[in-house]
A and B are shown apart, each in its own frame.
Chain A
């Protein structure tokens, strides 16, 4: 995605040196560059899939790419993308978190109790809710990091336990209405057109200026300058589309801010880089002095917090917290989104942007099928097929790439 994207590896399970030794003899600069560009571009298959989906559904329904529908899609995708972001953080460690749906449901219920029954203002209730999500994640992280219990088991227990907590909090009536306009505004409101343009201008100028500042230090190449320009153009185009409808959705802007923060932390901070190191080789990371346990603990705390943010978005969207909040296929869609977006289940490879792309693919397909009046069973089957296809494509691309190195040729 970015020129700072993690150097990624396809050889999760390939014996080391096998192909590297052969390729060493035929080291060609061009082949090396292409190969590393390919392996860094974890988002490429996801972007290609998005284009295919857009073209296909537009041909089926002219409403699909309309500004109104794209705005709805952006709001709907924000919830899945937020949970998927939490899943990405954990997947980078080669762990998994099955409890995110239940945590978002339970924290939404907590929010409902605090606001509906406790009459708390939102600026007190929301921090408490987020802290509860963090605590649930931290609790699971403690079992995983310090007792060494597999995350699959701990979070499976968490999924059941926190679902129980959610139902217990909601009690017999099952649903708590949240009428607070501030909560509702999170998913219900959009930026005024002028504000949207101002945000677009600031982001575009900042991105290009940052690239120019780097360039002034003598590192301006087409590679490093092309991406910021494309990014700036995308931001402006995005705002133009949203403004043609109701304006930039607040929820989507919020999601993008979360993603930029996540990108900064994973790509540019020590703990973020350690996340990749532990995911790549936990024992090597430990021996090099990386605080592996603290990193694992922190990752689950973060995923729990993000699940609570997802619960907040769900409560806002539905104006209530119910027994079904955070349930259904939400968790599986989030894991699917992270993986479709290009984050490896084997750890150490991926990016926070995969949460966005994956959620847009999942949401786009569901939305497109709705527009073409497909039935729910069909939707599930198509979504399942897409998860399978996306991961297969990813795996085949990577295998091909390594074989390409081996015979010295370049497959693109």
Chain B
């Protein structure tokens, strides 16, 4: 993949599967089957199965401790599951590390532990995916290209709250930090994007930006999983809603066929 700004090659260790040719075709992007995870004697995930199609947004909802973040972490390769199968584009894969997840085109925005405080905004945006130029021992990080891309990305998203992208992220507010974390998901066209509470700590306008971003991802044909506590937000962007309850899939709704009341009921464990 070429960087439009500079024509330089994006460096990565292994190739990421390209996004589907027909962005709105809606083929299956990711399926997890019977994922189980124990933390000591606590079962965080119990035989959880779900799937996301290209061009679809699936919302993952549930009470605290329902297993939402654990499921995201398992798919992202952060947490190793005790059991379960993963299929990307219909093929079974093993996700053993964050590196594996990246190889399969999965990009995750975590809820916490996302930024290195000592690095600046640009380096954090490209952390682990740095743009490089030169070959062999002369290969070096292309700070200028990264800066250019970061600026283009931020202005493309309409983000004006970050004045100096060269300042260390430790100097940023919570909302600005979250913006940087979410911004990472948009640097390349990732086929599968996981967002774990992307709007937590954001202001009203920034929340709106993130929702627009999710809709844009869908329009581009990405398969998006969004974890959220905010029912309004979910009804704004999600095509399907998966309710987790005590580590199990409690219910699955199509947004068009349900009501916020029904979803809230399921979250509280009152579904059929």
By a beta-carbon cutoff of 8 Å, the part of chain A in contact with chain B is 4, 6-9, 11, 16-17, 20-21, 23-24, 27, 32, 35-36, 39, 264, 268-270, 273-274, 276-277, 279-281, 283-291, 348-349, 405
* Contact of A289 with B116 in the complex, beta carbons under 8 Å: no
Given contacts A16-B177, A23-B171, A405-B171, contact A284 B166 (CB under 8 A): no
B130 contacts partner chain A, Cβ-Cβ < 8 Å: yes
Chain-A contact segment, one of B17-25, B120-128, B206-214: B120-128
Alpha-carbon gap, A281 to B118, bound state (A): 8
- Taking CB atoms, residues of chain B closer than 8 Å to A27 are 163
Given contacts A7-B167, A39-B168, A277-B127, contact A289 B173 (CB under 8 A): no
Alpha-carbon gap, A32 to B166, bound state (A): 11
Given contacts A32-B167, A281-B115, contact A287 B102 (CB under 8 A): no
Chain A contact residues, majority secondary structure: helix
The listed residue (A9, A23, A264, A273) touching B117 by CB distance below 8 A is A9
Q: Which of chain B's residues 132-163 have a Cβ closer than 8 Å to chain A?
A: 132, 139-141, 143, 163
* Contact of B128 with A290 in the complex, beta carbons under 8 Å: yes
B78 contacts partner chain A, Cβ-Cβ < 8 Å: yes
* Contact of A9 with B98 in the complex, beta carbons under 8 Å: no
B260 contacts partner chain A, Cβ-Cβ < 8 Å: no
B220 contacts partner chain A, Cβ-Cβ < 8 Å: no
- Taking CB atoms, residues of chain B closer than 8 Å to A6 are 118-119
26 residue pairs from A and B, CB less than 8 Å apart: A7-B166, A9-B118, A16-B117, A16-B170, A16-B177, A17-B174, A20-B170, A24-B172, A24-B173, A269-B141, A270-B11, A270-B141, A273-B123, A273-B130, A276-B118, A280-B118, A281-B116, A281-B117, A284-B115, A286-B98, A287-B76, A287-B98, A288-B129, A288-B184, A289-B127, A289-B129
* Contact of A7 with B119 in the complex, beta carbons under 8 Å: yes
Q: What's the least CB distance linking A182 to chain B, in Å?
A: 26
- Taking CB atoms, residues of chain A closer than 8 Å to B163 are 27, 32
Closest to B137 in A: A269
B224 contacts partner chain A, Cβ-Cβ < 8 Å: no
The listed residue (A39, A279, A284) touching B114 by CB distance below 8 A is A284
**Which 7 A/B pairs are nearest by Cβ-Cβ distance?**
A280-B116, A289-B128, A280-B118, A348-B118, A288-B128, A288-B127, A283-B113
Alpha-carbon gap, A276 to B124, bound state (A): 11
Which of B102, B120, B139, B171 has most A Cβ within 10 Å? B171
* Contact of B119 with A20 in the complex, beta carbons under 8 Å: no
* Contact of B98 with A289 in the complex, beta carbons under 8 Å: yes
* Contact of A288 with B141 in the complex, beta carbons under 8 Å: no
Closest to B173 in A: A21
Q: Which of chain B's residues 74-133 have a Cβ closer than 8 Å to chain A?
A: 76, 78, 98-99, 101-102, 108, 110, 113-120, 123, 127-130, 132
Closest to B140 in A: A268
Alpha-carbon gap, A11 to B120, bound state (A): 14
- Taking CB atoms, residues of chain A closer than 8 Å to B115 are 281, 284
Alpha-carbon gap, A269 to B102, bound state (A): 21
* Contact of A284 with B118 in the complex, beta carbons under 8 Å: no
* Contact of B110 with A289 in the complex, beta carbons under 8 Å: no
The listed residue (B132, B168, B177) touching A9 by CB distance below 8 A is B168
- Taking CB atoms, residues of chain A closer than 8 Å to B99 are 289, 291
The listed residue (A7, A284, A348) touching B113 by CB distance below 8 A is A284
Alpha-carbon gap, A8 to B116, bound state (A): 11
B164 contacts partner chain A, Cβ-Cβ < 8 Å: yes
- Taking CB atoms, residues of chain B closer than 8 Å to A21 are 173-174
* Contact of B172 with A20 in the complex, beta carbons under 8 Å: yes
Given contacts A17-B173, A268-B140, A281-B113, contact A32 B127 (CB under 8 A): no
Given contacts A269-B139, A283-B113, contact A290 B172 (CB under 8 A): no
- Taking CB atoms, residues of chain B closer than 8 Å to A16 are 117, 170, 174, 177
Alpha-carbon gap, A144 to B83, bound state (A): 28
- Taking CB atoms, residues of chain B closer than 8 Å to A17 are 172-174, 177
Alpha-carbon gap, A348 to B177, bound state (A): 18
Chain B, 214-242, contact with A by CB distance < 8 Å: what is the 0/1 string? Answer: 00000000000000000000000000000
Known: A16-B117, A268-B141. 20 other contacts (CB 8 A): A4-B143, A7-B166, A9-B117, A17-B173, A17-B174, A20-B171, A20-B173, A32-B164, A269-B140, A269-B141, A270-B130, A274-B128, A277-B123, A279-B118, A281-B116, A285-B127, A287-B113, A289-B101, A348-B118, A348-B119
Q: What's the least CB distance linking A218 to chain B, in Å?
A: 11
* Contact of A348 with B116 in the complex, beta carbons under 8 Å: yes
Q: What's the least CB distance linking B156 to chain A, in Å?
A: 21
